[in-house]
Amino acid sequence: MIELINVTKIFPGAPSPSVDNVSFRVNQGNICVLLGPSGCGKTTILRMMNRLEEPSSGKILINSENTLKSDPSALRRSIGYVIQQTGLLPHRTVARNIALVPGLLGWPQEKINSRVDELLKLMGLDSGDIADKYPHQLSGGQMQRVGVARAMAADPPIMLMDEPFGAVDPIIRIRLQDEFLKLQQQVRKTICFVTHDINEAIKMADYLIIFNQGRLVQMGSPVEVLTSPADDFVLSLIGDDRGVKILDLTRAETLMEPADNISDDLLGSGCTVQSYQPVKLALEVMMKKNQDRVGVCRGNHLAGTLSWSDIKRHINKVSGEESEL
Amino acid sequence: MSFDPELFIHAMSHRAPPYILEHLNLVLIPMCIAVLIALPTSIMLTRPAYRRFTSRIMAVFNAGQTIPPLAVIAIFFPFLGLGYAPAILALSIYALLPIARNTITAISSVPQDVKEAARGMGMTPWEVLRKVELPLSVPGIMTGIKTSAVLTVSTAVLAALVGGKGMGAVIFAGINFFQAELILAGTVYIGIMAVLIERMLTLLEWYLSPSHLK
Amino acid sequence: MDIINFTLNNAGLVLEYTFNHLSLVLIVLLISLALWISTGLIISWHDRLAGTVISLSNILFCIPSISLFGLFMTMPGFGLGRNTAVVVLVIYAMMPLVRSVYLGVKSVDASVVDAGKGMGMTPLQILLQIRIPMAWPMIFAGMRVSIVIVTGIATMATFIGEKNLGRLIHQGITRGDSDMIITGAIIVACMALLLDFIMARIQRRVISPGLRFDT
């Protein structure tokens, strides 16, 4: 658990604080996303958590211990750290890169070796002889995966990730995000994730914290932020399509109407979605089957229907009076 | 043996100065020759037609730099005897290498996309050279010329061995007679000449540089 | 011009001079590597010293070799002979070595250092496990340059009494014997090229394959 209490950071010679009296908590087992435009202070906050920067005032507690009281190197060895440029050691193989922190901690060699194998498998890097390759021989996606594997090597309960998927193509980025979310379901680490990409933030976050010019502007789950943006800044950050964005986060069962006799045809023609699937998928099915409604199923039986007008009404409600769908 | 300040001052004010002009000749003339030969040749070597030869030529140049200046100076002596001419010839050849290397490197490292943009706008290859490649290479070329000039000021000292005189005469006299004062005086003047020439070339570089690099 | 005959007829002399030249260069190399690589590492640690040390090495490097040999020769305690030659040549090796070590260590990719620091490496561990290994290509380049330079300047040591290939060249001038001059010049050039080649081979062995595509 990470806690920031009234943290402020002023860089020498800067006209205003980079981080201005920020307080928040990152809960155990959650992915907390720090979101905001460049220069809003989110990376500085992240770097203060593992003492790569030190707060000018205020304190940071990790598992109730003040970070300033521990030895910095020891602190960092207990926290996973992933950066956008990966920072892989170019003169070491993938395996030796991953083995870095365990090596620093003095693990016995067999333990290190088996952990490296475990991680390679976990991150989908166990094909071919990737373990013996050097960073410059890897693709962008592979490098990022090695970066994550390396951060997880000593199995730290906390991980700090600074735009870790920023340097790869959009297609690979989506894949990496999906893989990481699946991983997180297994390992349930406490993660603080920095990004400037609203879509990535909504996808990855258990909850979001939005920053602007060093100040904390809004905190909440993705749905909360999308439905009730705190001010114009957040509104502009989210974008005009927030009504549509939220379709991705809303489950079909939330908006469905009770089933009626007409809807049996829908089952027959396969024009259905599962109840837990996002409304956006329902829209896609509607378009594919050229219908204006879909059946919502739980397993094999029909639980209700979802129509185009239901969705339209919801978007209007979410977007407020401004949108004209 | 002790250092005699009076002898040193005498060397600085009377013994060495007569050789200054001679030494400058031994620097400026070879530099002019070297620049006149090296620049066009290097530019030519960067043209597409000759690109295949470039790495081999550079290898020859690099190998050439391993020959110590003493040897270069001495090589012409058997054919041309003692005197001014062989010294100038040898110094010119020795001065060629840094200029050629730096010029080729500088022109080759002009970014490809800048050149292509110029071609795309309709410049002929000659215009691309004159208006894009050369102006952007000025810093690199001038570094080569400056390096070469400072090197030549130093190497010209050896001209004294083959009858070219110059400040080397003072320094070698100091060695032969075990007089540090002479060696020091000669060295000081060499240093002054090197610094002055370097400053002047830096001014020239500033004058020739395209405005965005200033 | 009959170099081959000359060499064969004076094989003993040529070999003696070549051997003296090579041994001088190697002694200088060993001392220089030990001295200047540590200096380079120290100034990369203590930045304040860096500017002064590097400026000093630049200035020393620009002094004509004959002057430095001559000046040291006239200083009490030095005189003619090998010791003086070694000292002067070690001074000339300073600039390329200190510069390349300093630049190599300093210009290591900042994001790798940041990652190392973020993962919990102490400054010493960063120096030993990141900066120095990543600086090797540049350090090696400096070593090769300094070896070639020292081999060339060592010819000038003949003026302070060393009996090496420089003497072959100088005597060739005094006697008007072109074979001597050319033989001397060729052997020096070959020695420099050979030493550079050997260093290049060692470089291939020593430097991590992960770094090689850089150089």
Each of the 214 residues of chain B gets a pLDDT tens digit; together they read 567 888 888 888 888 888 888 899 899 999 999 999 999 988 988 888 887 887 788 788 777 777 888 888 777 777 777 778 888 888 898 898 889 888 988 888 888 888 888 888 888 888 888 888 888 888 889 888 988 998 899 889 988 888 778 899 889 988 888 888 888 889 999 989 988 998 899 888 888 877 665 5
pLDDT reading at C154 higher than 60:
yes
What's A108's domain CATH number? 3.40.50.300
- pLDDT (0 to 100) of residue A323: 44
Question: Does residue B13 fall inside a structural domain?
Answer: yes
DSSP tag of A256: P
Q: Do A151 and A225 belong to one domain?
A: yes
How many domains does chain B divide into?
1
Q: Measuring CA to CA, which residue among C31, C38, C41 is closest to residue C150?
A: C31
Q: Where are the beta strands (DSSP E) in A174-222?
A: 190-195, 207-212, 215-220
Separation between Cα atoms, residue C143 and residue B214, nearest integer Å: 34
- pLDDT (0 to 100) of residue B17: 86
Structure tokens at A51: 């003492």
What's B176's domain CATH number? 1.10.3720.10
A224 vs A264 pLDDT, higher one: A224
Going by pLDDT thresholds of 50, 70 and 90, the confidence category of residue A211 is very high
C176 vs A59 pLDDT, higher one: A59
Q: Do A234 and A255 belong to one domain?
A: no
Q: Do A222 and A290 belong to one domain?
A: no
HSE value, Cβ hemisphere, 13 Å, CA-based, for A178:
7
Residue with tokens 């507690």: A61
List of chain C residues whose C-beta atoms are within 8 Å of the C-beta of residue A78: 120
Q: Do A216 and A285 belong to one domain?
A: no
pLDDT (average), residues A294-318? 81
* 3-state SS class at B213: helix
Q: Quote the domain boundaries for residue A267.
A: 247-322
Give yes or no for C111 touching A (CB within 8 A): yes
Question: Does residue B214 fall inside a structural domain?
Answer: no
Q: Measuring CA to CA, which residue among C84, C32, C92 is closest to residue C56?
A: C92
What's A285's domain CATH number? 3.90.1280.20
Q: Where are the beta strands (DSSP E) in chain A?
A: 2-9, 19-26, 31-35, 57-62, 65-66, 79-83, 158-162, 190-195, 207-212, 215-220, 257-258, 272-274, 293-298, 301-307
Q: Do A277 and A179 belong to one domain?
A: no
Give yes or no for C77 touching A (CB within 8 A): no
Amino acid at A232: D
Amino acid at A52: L
List of chain A residues whose C-beta atoms are within 8 Å of the C-beta of residue C125: 104
Q: Do A266 and A310 belong to one domain?
A: yes
Give per-residue pLDDT as tens, C104-143: 888 888 999 999 999 999 988 998 899 989 988 888 889 9
pLDDT reading at A54 higher than 80:
yes
Going by pLDDT thresholds of 50, 70 and 90, the confidence category of residue A222 is confident
List of chain A residues whose C-beta atoms are within 8 Å of the C-beta of residue C130: 89
Question: Does residue B129 fall inside a structural domain?
Answer: yes
Q: Quote the domain boundaries for residue B193.
A: 5-209
Going by pLDDT thresholds of 50, 70 and 90, the confidence category of residue A242 is confident
Lowest mean pLDDT among A148-157, A237-246, C101-110, C186-195: A237-246
Separation between Cα atoms, residue C22 and residue C6, nearest integer Å: 21
pLDDT reading at A267 higher than 90:
no
pTM: 0.76
The answer to whether A29 and A188 have CB atoms below 8 angstroms apart is: yes
Give yes or no for C176 touching A (CB within 8 A): no
List of chain A residues whose C-beta atoms are within 8 Å of the C-beta of residue C119: 76-77, 81, 100-101, 104, 150-151
* 3-state SS class at B83: coil
* 8 Å CB contact of C120 and A77: yes
Give yes or no for C199 touching B (CB within 8 A): no
Domain boundary, last residue among A205, A239, A273: A239
Question: Does residue B35 fall inside a structural domain?
Answer: yes
Nearest CB among C148, C166, C178 relative to B78 is that of C178
User: Of all helices (H) and strands (E), which one includes residue A248?
Assistant: none
For CA atoms A56, A62, A67, A73, give the dihedral sign: negative
* 8 Å CB contact of B174 and C70: yes
List of chain C residues whose C-beta atoms are within 8 Å of the C-beta of residue B183: 67, 70-71, 74
Q: Do A74 and A101 belong to one domain?
A: yes
- pLDDT (0 to 100) of residue A219: 93
pLDDT reading at A324 higher than 60:
no
The pairs formed by A19-24 with CB atoms below 8 angstroms and a separation of 24 or more are A19/A44, A19/A45, A19/A48, A19/A55, A19/A214, A20/A213, A20/A214, A20/A215, A21/A58, A21/A215, A22/A58, A22/A211, A22/A214, A22/A215, A22/A216, A23/A58, A23/A216, A24/A209, A24/A216, A24/A219
ipTM exceeding 0.90, yes/no: no
C-contacting chains (≥3 CB pairs under 8 Å): A, B
Q: Do A155 and A296 belong to one domain?
A: no
Question: Does residue B125 fall inside a structural domain?
Answer: yes
Question: Does residue B11 fall inside a structural domain?
Answer: yes
Question: Does residue B175 fall inside a structural domain?
Answer: yes
How many domains does chain A divide into?
2
Separation between Cα atoms, residue C91 and residue C31, nearest integer Å: 10
Domain spanning C3-205: CATH 1.10.3720.10: yes
The answer to whether C105 and C61 have CB atoms below 8 angstroms apart is: no
